[in-house]
Chains A and B, each alone.
Chain A
């Protein structure tokens, strides 16, 4: 990419050479004139813009210098490589602005399109990613487009539409693991547990698998799945619930206690009250029930 761009910047332009010489000799206004002429021949060349920035600055023409300085830093390839570097460093938020600048300058550049689309996707901005993916015809971009489209539906709670996109994508890319996982998740969110459970199990999505089992009345299967992710905070409430429902209130208690701090509707405290009651702890039960009553009235 960098090599390709450099090839577009011939150094043999006489105006460029004259401008460089004038700048070195401190003839700033002359340098500005040469670079302006050179820019007419290469209007997107950031090197010329940078030199116009320097020449104007050196001539103390600050208002004139500013737009050239800004344009010079905004244009490829520096913006592209700045963005890519941020991505490599796991900083997609910082990558976004330079990649946007690069894309604005070279809207058909496939690398710029793909990297910007990927960055939008990673940041969860699927509506912005989708049109960029659709401009590309590579398998990678097609997958990105399908994932973006499906996640747009999912975030709008249109799980049926999301499922349809994943199913279509799996026709094009059979057995694609990412699509199968996401299909499993969307089926789970759509409460289509009969179809979701095999996919969730295949990809070890144990939190979703456990909750699916819990919602289909199989608390023992829920316990088996949820204990595999029992260190995750979001597993505490369903695991406690599964233990309580399966008749193991003593095992439910620690998980319900762990989940209780996030109890907004009182449901965890009511479960806790029942678990205490069934393990012969009436005072703790009364306290938990009182907390349930307070939370449920909010």
Chain B
């Protein structure tokens, strides 16, 4: 590589700086000699504006001692601007119960205030945002009770009735009383059991009936027959994609007859090109090569690479992990959280992954590393990637992106087992951008870029933030907006960049 090329690449690097001590939250996973499986699965978070002040706030799910039931409080931090945050958990009533894994944020009741679903063991919780800084626990009357182990969730309006429904990703049939000894007895080395030791579970779909009530429609919608070991879900025009740990992934596509078809195998996303199941962890589903079709990238363990499935116009995917160099760049990483977004506003969405192995004893039995740095994979014109490590090796878990300081650049929040989270301020060179507040499911196209308003992202996390576009040198752009629920298609010309544009929610067609 020539010196000129090296300096050009360095100049174009995506740049973050750590914001130390911005938040005093500590992710408590209560590691125990019993190696309870949930201990290593903590760490989801949600980025959303809980008080409608225009600044993105941060919610952290937290663990619990599974032997004693002692709960470490979930935490909500209000964004006061300039990377200052205030813990408002008590006032918000979001301390929570049980071992919480993450959060799914959305305004499920359409009252203009973002609500929270928190997947937790043994019981998840649904909190309704009252709009006065407080949340009300409406779990018991919501109909969302389940005996399964949920690990992530996603909001979507699958039946296009204008009310957001809830898809819950269930993991496997572990419980404290079904916790076998796994490891090397000769070395007295106990490790978290491999998922193969447990039976799979089906995911759950709850239809929003209104008035804070939900109905389990998993059976009638075709979700229930498909068992897996779900880790995360991404929702978009392609459907609901669920990563399964050591089993083939699932892609549920709505068939317009009130049910879903599981089409992952036919669509080419059930497995990577190796033909073997991997420890699929987090997922994001967005268009990486600017062909207007959402692609899928998932995190996995070392040597499994972070598979990149590229979609064509027919919804068929091709594994392009090797040709895009993502295989070579990711093969040594084990990842959890992942987000696809334009981090340097150059018009190409990049990938950030938040990394660590799942097994905290892995270094005793293999060359793999437990603690790893985060990684940024910069998208070079949709054809290939370069990578850079971000931060020190730590036990990273969930992560999500949002513009925390409203400067048009997406910042990063990462959770770390047993430690404070990492807050990364994006200080990449300025370029033009546009943020669009729109109802979930709205798709916006600018030139050859397409992006969709979603909430669930990465590993058990939510990023309910405006649709973000990096626009390079473009000062004025045209928008093609496709509203959800068979809503209208709208064209807006001569839209100035470098602003947050708010689109009015569209009522569903009757």
Q: Which residues of A contact B (CB under 8 A)?
A: 159-160, 187, 190-192, 194, 215-219, 241, 244-247, 265-271, 274, 278, 289, 292-293, 296
Contact assessment for A219 and B275 in the assembled complex, using a CB-CB cutoff below 8 Å: no
Contact assessment for A245 and B319 in the assembled complex, using a CB-CB cutoff below 8 Å: yes
Q: Which residues of B contact A159 (CB under 8 A)?
A: 366-367
Contact string, B269-311, partner A, CB cutoff 8 A, digits 1/0?
Answer: 0010111100000000000000000000000001101000000
Given contacts A245-B322, A247-B323, contact A271 B332 (CB under 8 A): no
Contact assessment for B273 and A274 in the assembled complex, using a CB-CB cutoff below 8 Å: yes
Q: Which residues of A contact B323 (CB under 8 A)?
A: 246-247
Which B-chain residue is minimally distant from A188 (CB atoms)?
Answer: B367
The 9 tightest CB contacts between A and B, nearest first, are A217-B327, A267-B275, A192-B367, A217-B328, A270-B275, A217-B331, A245-B322, A271-B275, A190-B367
Interface size class of B (residues with CB under 8 A): 20 to 34
Contact assessment for B275 and A268 in the assembled complex, using a CB-CB cutoff below 8 Å: yes
Contact assessment for A247 and B322 in the assembled complex, using a CB-CB cutoff below 8 Å: yes
Cα distance, A156 to B321, chains bound together (Å): 33
Contact assessment for A191 and B328 in the assembled complex, using a CB-CB cutoff below 8 Å: no
Is residue B251 contacting chain A, with contact meaning CB distance below 8 A? no
Contact assessment for A219 and B366 in the assembled complex, using a CB-CB cutoff below 8 Å: no
Is residue B329 contacting chain A, with contact meaning CB distance below 8 A? yes
Given contacts A245-B327, A247-B322, contact A216 B332 (CB under 8 A): yes
Contact assessment for B322 and A219 in the assembled complex, using a CB-CB cutoff below 8 Å: yes
Contact assessment for B328 and A218 in the assembled complex, using a CB-CB cutoff below 8 Å: yes
Cα distance, A96 to B276, chains bound together (Å): 43
Given contacts A191-B302, A191-B368, contact A267 B331 (CB under 8 A): no
Cα distance, A107 to B321, chains bound together (Å): 60
Is residue B268 contacting chain A, with contact meaning CB distance below 8 A? yes
Q: Kindly count the residue-residue contacts between A and B in the assembled complex, taking CB atoms under 8 Å apart.
A: 71
Cα distance, A218 to B328, chains bound together (Å): 6
Majority secondary structure, B binding face: loop
Which A-chain residue is minimally distant from B329 (CB atoms)?
Answer: A217
Is residue B11 contacting chain A, with contact meaning CB distance below 8 A? no
Cα distance, A190 to B362, chains bound together (Å): 11
Q: How far is the CB of B407 from chain A (nearest CB, A)?
A: 35
Q: Which residues of B contact A274 (CB under 8 A)?
A: 268, 273, 319
Q: How far is the CB of B199 from chain A (nearest CB, A)?
A: 16
Contact assessment for A270 and B271 in the assembled complex, using a CB-CB cutoff below 8 Å: yes
Q: Which of B321, B326, B327 has the most CB of A within 10 A?
A: B327
Determine which of A218, A246, A289 lies in contact with B265 in the assembled complex, contact meaning CB atoms within 8 Å: A289
Q: How far is the CB of B165 from chain A (nearest CB, A)?
A: 30
Query: What are 30 A-B contacts with C-beta separation under 8 Å?
Result: A159-B366, A160-B364, A160-B366, A187-B367, A190-B366, A191-B303, A191-B367, A192-B367, A216-B303, A216-B332, A217-B305, A217-B321, A217-B325, A217-B328, A218-B328, A219-B322, A241-B275, A244-B273, A245-B273, A245-B319, A245-B321, A245-B322, A246-B322, A247-B322, A265-B276, A267-B275, A267-B276, A269-B275, A278-B318, A292-B275
Q: Which residues of B contact A194 (CB under 8 A)?
A: 332
Is residue B460 contacting chain A, with contact meaning CB distance below 8 A? no
Besides A246-B323, A296-B248, 14 other A-B contacts (C-beta < 8 A): A160-B367, A190-B366, A191-B302, A191-B303, A191-B366, A216-B332, A217-B305, A217-B322, A217-B325, A219-B322, A244-B273, A245-B321, A268-B275, A274-B268
